Amino acid sequence: MPILAYLTVFLIGQVQSAPPPIDEMGDIDPGYSAREAVKFVTQRHGQEENGGFPAETGKVERWELFGERFTRETVIENVPGEKETYYVTLMEKNLDRQEVYKTTYLTSENELMLHNRVSE
């Protein structure tokens, strides 16, 4: 009987001391992650226009329209001092005209707000 009680206490201790899950980006207990923020913004903006913006950072989509070359890229930044809040910027470049269009959204879980729109 003491061995059974010891094993029960030991198993409960092992389960409770298991480390929190780690998501694919390496975050512990991520809550609203950067990956989710990018996906949330790109699903709600511009998906019908020539394939939309990439749903992951570091990826550049290239396409042509009426003989002009374009790229689209998604960039994310943490909002300083805010947990699980991000700036997600959708950047479109016209390579032939050397023009850049940036639309930045402020996002936290299930919230999306236009932050800034710039043409360079």
Q: What is the mean pLDDT of each run of 10 residues along the chain (120 residues)?
A: 54 48 50 88 70 84 88 92 92 93 92 90
pTM above 0.85, yes or no: no
Chain centroid, CA 16 distance in Å? 30
Query: DSSP for 22-56?
Result: B-TTS-BS-SS-HHHHHHHHHHHSSTTSTT-S-SS
Chain centroid, CA 9 distance in Å? 41
In this prediction, residue 73 carries a pLDDT of 92
In single-letter form, the type of residue at position 53 comes to F
In this prediction, residue 11 carries a pLDDT of 47
